[in-house]
Amino acid sequence: MTAAMTAVVLVRDEGDLRRITLNRPEKINALDTAMLLALTEAVEGAPRAGAVMVAIDGAGPRGFCAGGDVAEMGRGAEAFAAQEEALRAAMQALHGSAVPVVSVVHGRTLGAGCIVACLSDLVLGADSVQFGFPEMRFGLYPAFVHAALTERLPAALAFQICAGGRMLSAAEAYGFGFLTEILPAEGFAGAVEARVAHYRERVDALVIGRRILRMEDRPSMAEKTRRLAPLLAENHAAPSVRRLLAGLSFAR
């Protein structure tokens, strides 16, 4: 096994499986610019390390990922733009990954955490996982979440989920197609290992399935996010966003 580490993202190569851990548990692995850049590098570098599959999980008991780092977003237009650019790069890396990606989710899985899950090929979730789309709390329509959701859902349904901003249970998420499998929270780690091994043994079939899926005539993730970026910037510049952000506590 080989391993690499930054303060916020852990990368471990175990034979031909690359494991990536979001490692900011004190913030429920909220994705700031540095984390997003590290995640992008880890996903894109997997084939060069000989990996045929990537598995992404989140450190700590509270959740997989609390979304984008809202405190960083609130530091001004420059910080917001840097995080947005890094998120776009991560989305393109996940969607365009040369090898299948499995996300392993538990607890709170919000906003950008849902993006990571939706752009993975398979999602294994604890029965206690909660998916949420909190951006509307501070007046932002989650445009990039919408883009990720429409990889799995009709656009009208993606809009209702994003605009409503409510939490979804594991059962609801499975019904919508967010989750590939629901696994019991008790003994979750062992169950995940068994299912990851199951899919690793069938990776050739997954590769064929991904190729079939990508035969559909749909815009690339780069094109989707390029189109959405001006709308996101317009939304972020609205006075209501600054007012609502100012009233929020950034404690996770």
Number of H helices, E strands in the chain: 11, 9
Are 206 and 100 in contact by the 8 Å Cβ rule? The answer is yes
Residue 210's pLDDT is 92
Closest residue by Cα to residue 29 from 92, 99, 103: 103
Quote the CA–CA distance of 59 and 57 in Å, as a whole number.
Answer: 7
Residue in this structure with the two tokens 């392993």, named with its chain if needed: 104
Residue 109's pLDDT is 97
Residue 251's pLDDT is 43
State both tokens at 114.
Answer: 């849902």
Residue 249's pLDDT is 54
Each residue's pLDDT tens digit, 64-100? 999 988 788 778 778 888 999 999 999 999 999 999 9
Each residue's pLDDT tens digit, 1-35? 566 666 899 999 999 999 999 999 999 999 999 99
Are 64 and 22 in contact by the 8 Å Cβ rule? The answer is yes
Closest residue by Cα to residue 219 from 112, 91, 99: 91
Residue 3's pLDDT is 64
Residue 241's pLDDT is 83
Quote the CA–CA distance of 222 and 192 in Å, as a whole number.
Answer: 31
State both tokens at 191.
Answer: 């169950």
- The low-confidence residues of the chain, meaning pLDDT below 50, are 250-252
